[in-house]
Amino acid sequence: MSEITHTLTIHGMTCGGCSGRVARVLEATEGVVKADISHETNSGVVVTTSALSTDDVVSIVASTGFEVKA
């Protein structure tokens, strides 16, 4: 399966704990290869297998309580 890189804008994160929580939730999801989340830049880069769409990734991040768009 090929890998897809999703670039996200995430608003509402105020500290490393916030970005760490988003990264942990993503990395615990089957199909997520790597999640690099930064509260400092309000951004995230998520690498997934092709089994996960951008909408799937956005929904996962939104479930953590933050506003997100791709």
User: Which letter does DSSP use for residue 25 in this model?
Assistant: H
Residue 1 confidence (pLDDT) above 90:
no
Q: What is the pLDDT of residues 5-57, one digit of tens each?
A: 999 999 999 999 999 999 999 999 999 999 999 999 999 999 999 889 999 99
31 backbone dihedrals φ, ψ, rounded to 5°: 105, -15
Q: Which pLDDT value is given to residue 50?
A: 87
Q: How far apart are alpha carbons 19 and 27 in whole angstroms?
A: 12
Q: Which pLDDT value is given to residue 10?
A: 98
Beta pairing partners, 45: 7, 36
**Fold classified for 3-69:** Alpha-Beta Plaits (3.30.70)
Q: Which pLDDT value is given to residue 33?
A: 97
